[in-house]
Amino acid sequence: MIGLPVGSEIYFRNDQNFTARTTDNKNQVEYNGQTFAISALAIKLYKEQVNKKQRTLNGYLYFYYDNKRPWDLRPDQQIEIQ
């Protein structure tokens, strides 16, 4: 997963009641024993939490790891200021 080690625990919308684990270096996560693409799981959990169907979501923007979104941990976002 973008910048996260395999096996990292991530939280949906920074709510530790909804946790998943990364299962590869791309976009797969495990939630309740099932494997999902991170965006597919974001759509599923969004619907459960908000009771609103959403056709597309970028899962990297809806999950958190160590209080940061995986999207923000991408290597191209890690610019050193000198």
For the whole model, what pTM was predicted?
0.83
Q: What is the pLDDT of residue 1?
A: 66
The gap from C-alpha 21 to its chain's centroid, in whole angstroms, comes to: 9
Q: Is the pLDDT of residue 78 over 80?
A: no
Q: Is the pLDDT of residue 68 over 80?
A: yes
Structure tokens given for 18:
């909804």
CB atoms within 10 A of CB 70: 23
Amino acid at 33: G
Q: What is the pLDDT of residue 31?
A: 97
Task: Determine the average pLDDT of the residues in 49-72.
Answer: 88
